[in-house]
Structure 1
Amino acid sequence: MKRRDFLRATGGSGGAVALGSGVAAGQEETGTTTGTEGGGGGGPTETVTVGPGGSLVFEPAELTIATGTTVNFVWDSNMHNVVPQSQPEGANWEGEGEQGVTFDAGHEYSHTFTTTGTYEYVCTPHESAGMVGTIEVVEELQSGGGGERELHEIGAPIHPHWVGAATILMMFVSLVFTFYVLKYGESPNTGNTGGGE
């Protein structure tokens, strides 16, 4: 049996222990483990990059997802872990790694979140450097795609009556300009310059 198959068969906690012992022994680990909380995947997925470009952050650091969403943690640099600090009552997220157990670039870990609430997690070696993250799990996300959106929803504080007033003003200015050009359009310099003596 291959190591990857073993890890898949053992699930989240057994896989984390098996991987942890391998990493602690100095072996480079690039396996994938999957943990689920109260059910399988099949729903939407989101990705959190662990240590992108060698920086000591999770990207995104704050994530809002609907219940049933699988979050895939992808390591982009070495010596990081994902350790829950707080989670909703009834949730059983164990994270990936623990104090002294880290993983290197190329490692992946997935977890399906089914309990609503706020999950806070850290990278224990780099918590003091600000490597912390939050996942907010809600019943359903507000629809953000397709269809028309109000201007205030996209951060433009413009009221519809100002748009109408501006349109009427532009029409009026255009009419006045056109009238002026038609009535007084000739410049004194474009008049008849070939007059007699």
Structure 2
Amino acid sequence: MNRRDFLRTAGGAAGGTAALAASGSASAAESGGGGGGGSTRPQWPSYVSDADNQGYQDLRDQDEVTISVDSNFFDPTFIWVSPETTITWSFDASGHNVKFNSQPEGAELAGTAGGEFDVIETGQTHSVTPTTGGIYTYYCGPHEGQGMKGAIAVGDDVSTQTVGGGGGGGEPNPEHMGVPFQAHFVGLATLLMIGVSYVFTFFFLKYGESSHTKGGSN
């Protein structure tokens, strides 16, 4: 066996093995920490499924929040707040009001004054401070049929769902499948593969040489 050939071949095999293992570990790390886990949000009732959706905001732990009443929509349309948060609707467009469609048991929040079609002038506000946890839905009387609806989640004791995530079909994260990813395991596996590469190369060069390579010409 030629010692120089052995070192050259073994070094190349080990280097390739290490590079492959490093690439695999980096890929796994990126898959695990690159986002795509989604976010937890309240599960909204079907009543607001056709709302003119101007977005969702998690506003828990804030003392006061504002919802803009604009041209046939509420902005934001969906909010999550803590109990005893003061919620104020600011009427930035004319011809609208706020009426509650549903409230948790025991809650008695009032909508704007007047009947179903009595509207509030631009520049006015309407405020409530919910203390009962749960989901509240509301609407604008004159424009309910056009999707001018909204919903409020109060407190942490509400039904939730995970939305978003996935990142457009990236590689699955082993941890999401119940397989904990440990970097030191990857390191040990890399060392093991390097050792196997050396052993394999040694035996290949020692016993795999043909009769033509051993002796030269007769």
Q: Which has the larger radius of gyration?
A: 2
- What TM-score do the two structures reach when normalised by structure 1? 0.48
TM normalised by structure 2 equals 0.44
Q: Which gives a bigger RCO, structure 1 or 2 (Cα 8 Å, sep 6+)?
A: 2
